Amino acid sequence: MDKFSKCIWLATVILKSGNQGVTLREINQQWQYAFDADPIPRKTFDNYKHYIEELFDINIDCIKSRNAYVVNDAENLYSNELKMWLLNSFSLSTLIASDIHLRKRIQFEKVPSGIEFLEPLVRAIKDNKCIDLCYQTFYWEEPCCRIIQPYALKLFKQRWYLVGCNDSHQIRLFSLDRIKSVKSTDNTFKLPIDFTLESYYANHFGIVHHDGMVETLRLKVESEQAKYLKRLPWHESQRVLEEEAGFLVFEWELHLTFDLRQQILSLGRNVEVLEPLWFRNQVKEEIEQMANLYKV
């Protein structure tokens, strides 16, 4: 188990101890139970603690009365979706990887390669450091290396994406599974004050960004399928316009992107595009092309 995985596990243990904190002795009890390994030496623990504080931009304090360790700004950490994903996912995967019996009883979805670039990218984003990125698209015969300002990371459908700015001052998207290498540079950049991932992807579904108009999308969804849509909304603008026996009509204010069209098509006959008309015709044309493939 590498240092990164150990630190993720340790950060999770300290965070979950709450305001009471957890002593090094208690940490080692959990460590030995989870991994059947030797206790963590004090010097190694101090090294891991410093690494965690840098990685997650948090402070781990010691409650002197009982020598217990606690995250003093836990609320900010809990509110950060990326950091919590890292903690929960890596902590669980580390625990499962260490126990052969658990590996036989818990199964994950396969994630494309590129996960090894998460740590250097998170560090570069945190420090506003430019990176030398070698990237291979499906359309290039050879990978291309360029200097990128890493703005943010986004997870969508089991794939991680880097949102970054190139030397032409254009914001571009890079899938981590197509990255060949990442090298940190000494050059820093200033994140535009008006950029946030939330605002960049406002009124979007998925990972594809679109600068055009936001439009009103209306779908007629079969009742059983609508239950899933109500439980897991596609976007915060989602609302139910009409509810009848057998179907519901949903409405969104969204950019009508490729990602969204693919999501609609994945529901097959359980959904019908009502508006806008041009988008309905676009979906209809794709369905007709699909039907032609199966004509005998």
74-128: pLDDT as tens digits:
777 767 666 676 666 666 666 656 555 565 676 666 666 677 888 889 889 989 9
Q: What is the mean pLDDT of residues 131-150?
A: 91
Q: What is the mean pLDDT of residues 39-66?
A: 89
User: Residue 199 domain-assigned?
Assistant: no
User: Residue 200 domain-assigned?
Assistant: no
Q: Report residue 202's pLDDT band, with 50, 70 and 90 as the boundaries.
A: very high
pLDDT at 205 over 60: yes
Q: What beta strand segments (E) does 92-158 contain? A: 129-135, 144-156
- pLDDT the model gives residue 212: 87
Residues 7 and 81 in one domain: yes
Q: What is the mean pLDDT of residues 35-45?
A: 88
- Sequential DSSP letters for 50-106: HHHHHHHT--EEEETTTTEEEETTHHHHHT-HHHHHHHHHHHHHHHHHT-HHHHTT-
The Cα diameter of the chain in Å comes to: 79
Residues 250 and 179 in one domain: no
Cβ-contact 83, 12 below 8 angstroms: no
- pLDDT the model gives residue 73: 75
Residues 10 and 97 in one domain: yes
Three-class SS state of 40? coil
- The whole-angstrom separation of Cα 287 and Cα 276 is 17
User: Residue 90 domain-assigned?
Assistant: yes
The tens digit of pLDDT for each residue in 21-31 reads: 999 999 999 88
Reading the block at residue 274, the tokens are 């009502």
Helix ranges (H only) for 140-192 are none
Reading the block at residue 102, the tokens are 């658990």
Cis geometry, peptide bond prior to residue 276 (ω within 30 degrees of 0): yes
161 lies in which domain range? 118-192
Sequence-separated (6 or more) residues with CB below 8 Å from residue 112: 158, 159, 175, 176, 177
Length of the chain: 296
- pLDDT the model gives residue 90: 64
**Average pLDDT of every residue of the chain:** 87
Looking at the structure of the chain, the number of domains it has is 3
